[in-house]
């Protein structure tokens, strides 16, 4: 357990470095924003929610999706995801961590594996879109006859296929030309919040068999930590997360693209540190950036408590308080 906390602190350090670089990127892009409609409803009917360094976020009155009123052009994102050096540094260190964990046999199944196993009626073909190194493929190949991934980042797709010995296409979904009506389950893990165009769900629908499922995991707009930190929350304090969902917005998304919602739970991540609570009202507060040495031992305690108690009792999931929502949509 203490090991897990140390790992978490290392991850935080990397995260801070990355966020600082991303903030510089936002400053360089200043002034290139364009009008943006609700990506689910295609209309402009909203109330203001909050402002971050990159965007003015609004909430759609029809579907409750929280999205930027004005947005950078798609090319800006394409460029960033392909070339960004800061991101590649993070991927390199993540690769080393994954390699070590695999070697020590410490890659434990995450909660999504259980949910996918429960809701996927058949287990022939599984596809993960935006699979990174393909850790999900590694876990799910024990349960599905065939597993494949799609990943636009060259480095992660190449190293991931090597590390986990799986098929990862370094192409867009359209260019991969996958066989329609053949997949039992398609997942998007921490991907949907980045998507510029949600019409990818038309393609996903076509790829699935009838009764096939989509599993989606992403930051949850109605989580306890979002309630507390709002515009300072790391889930929105960046320029890459442009779709913030709650349950209603998933229901509207499902209806539009021919699915029904069959599961909405949250994971057991609280994402609230004592440091953050104590500093939340200060002018320069940034979520996850705060370090108060005296408070640190208490943080270890809080972290361990929330990780053991919450994961045993499913407390956060039961009351939809966790920071990430886990949604299953079934093709009608
Ligand atoms: Zn909407």
Domain of residue 247, CATH code: 3.40.50.150
- CA of 252 from ligand 1 middle (Å) equals 8
Sign of the C-alpha dihedral computed for residues 186, 163, 143 and 262 taken in this order: negative
Q: Residue 88's pLDDT band (boundaries 50, 70, 90)?
A: confident
Nearest to 157 by CA among 172, 146, 140, 178: 172
Residue 167 Cα, ligand 1 centroid: separation in angstroms?
36
Which tokens go with 76? Answer: 């800006």
* pLDDT reading at 21 higher than 60: yes
178-189 confidence digits (pLDDT tens)? 999 999 999 999
Distance 100 CA to ligand 1 centre (A): 43
Q: Inform me whether the pLDDT recorded for 91 exceeds 60.
A: yes
Alpha carbon of 249 to ligand 1 centroid (Å):
7
DSSP 3-state of 94: helix
- For tokens 């790992």, the residue is 7
pLDDT value at 313 more than 70: yes
Distance of CA 36 from the midpoint of ligand 1 (Å): 11
At residue 123, the 3 state secondary structure works out as coil
Regarding beta strands 146-150 and 167-169, do their DSSP bridges make them parallel or antiparallel, or are they unpaired?
A: parallel
Query: What confidence score (pLDDT) does residue 294 get?
Result: 81
> Can you give the pLDDT at residue 80?
74
Residue 320 C-alpha to ligand 1 middle, in angstroms? 22
Tally of domains in the chain: 1
Name the pTM for this structure: 0.93
Residue 115 CA to ligand 1 center (angstroms) comes to 27
Ligand 1 centroid, distance to 45 Cα (angstroms): 8
For ligand 1, the distance from its centroid to the CA atom of residue 63, given in whole angstroms, is 4
d(CA 40, ligand 1 centre) in Å: 5
DSSP 142-199: TTSSEEEEE---HHHHHHHHHHHT-EEE-S-HHHHTPPTT-EEEEEEES-GGG-S-TT
Residue 86 lies in domain: 2-331
CA of 216 relative to ligand 1 center, distance in Å: 18
DSSP for 260-317 reads EEEEEEE-S-----HHHHHHTTSTT--TT----GGGHHHHHHHHHHIIIIIHHHTHHH
Are the beta carbons of 329 and 262 closer than 8 angstroms?
yes
- The residue ranking higher by pLDDT, 109 or 256, is 256
Q: Can you give the pLDDT at residue 329?
A: 98
Question: What's the burial of 158, exposed, middle or buried (CB within 10 Å: 0-12/13-18/19+)?
Answer: middle
With bands split at pLDDT 50, 70 and 90, how would you rate the model's confidence at 198? very high
Q: How far is the CA of 193 from the centre of ligand 1 (A)?
A: 14
Kindly indicate the confidence band of residue 89, based on its pLDDT and cuts at 50, 70 and 90. Answer: confident
Q: Please return the burial class of 126, using the count of CB atoms within 10 Å of its CB with bins 0-12, 13-18 and 19+.
A: buried
Residue 25 has pLDDT above 60, yes or no: yes
Q: Is 255 in a helix, a strand, or coil?
A: helix
Least confident of 122-136, 228-242, 298-312: 298-312
| pLDDT tens sequence across 141-165 | 999 999 999 998 889 999 999 999 9
Region 197-201 average pLDDT: 97
Has residue 83 got a pLDDT over 60?
Answer: no
pLDDT of residue 79: 75
Ligand 1: distance of its center to the CA of 264 in Å? 19
* Of 83-87, 130-134, 160-164, the least confident: 83-87
């Amino acid at each position: 357990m203490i090991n897990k906390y140390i790992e978490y602190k290392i991850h935080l350090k990397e995260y801070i470095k990355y966020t600082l670089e991303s903030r510089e990127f936002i400053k360089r892009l200043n002034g290139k924003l364009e009008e943006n409609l609700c990506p689910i409803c295609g209309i402009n009917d909203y109330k203001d929610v909050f402002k971050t360094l990159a965007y003015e976020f609004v909430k759609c009155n029809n579907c409750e999706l929280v999205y930027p009123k004005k947005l950078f052009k798609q090319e800006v994102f394409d460029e960033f995801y392909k070339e960004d050096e800061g991101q590649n540094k993070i991927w390199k260190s993540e690769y080393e961590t994954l390699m070590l964990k695999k070697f020590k046999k410490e890659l434990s199944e995450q909660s999504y594996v259980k949910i996918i196993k429960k809701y996927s009626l058949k287990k022939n073909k599984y596809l993960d879109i935006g699979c990174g190194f393909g850790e999900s493929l590694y876990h799910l190949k024990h349960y599905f006859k065939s597993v494949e991934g799609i990943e636009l980042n060259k480095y992660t797709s190449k190293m991931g296929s090597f590390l986990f010995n799986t098929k990862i296409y370094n192409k867009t979904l359209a260019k991969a030309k996958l066989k329609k009506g053949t997949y039992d389950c398609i997942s998007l893990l921490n991907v949907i919040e980045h998507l510029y165009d949600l019409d990818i769900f038309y393609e996903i629908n076509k790829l699935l068999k009838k009764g096939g499922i989509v599993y989606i995991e992403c930051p949850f707009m109605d989580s306890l930590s979002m309630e507390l930190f709002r515009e300072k929350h790391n889930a929105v304090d960046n320029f890459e997360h442009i779709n913030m969902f709650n349950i209603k917005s998933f229901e509207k998304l499902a209806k539009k693209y021919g699915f029904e919602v069959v599961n909405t739970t949250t994971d057991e991540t609280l994402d609230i540190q004592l440091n953050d609570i104590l500093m939340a009202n200060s002018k320069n507060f940034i979520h996850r950036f705060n370090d108060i040495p005296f408070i640190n031992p208490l943080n270890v305690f809080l972290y361990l408590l929330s990780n053991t108690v919450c994961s045993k009792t499913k407390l956060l999931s039961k009351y939809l308080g966790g920071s990430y929502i886990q949604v299953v949509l079934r093709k009608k």
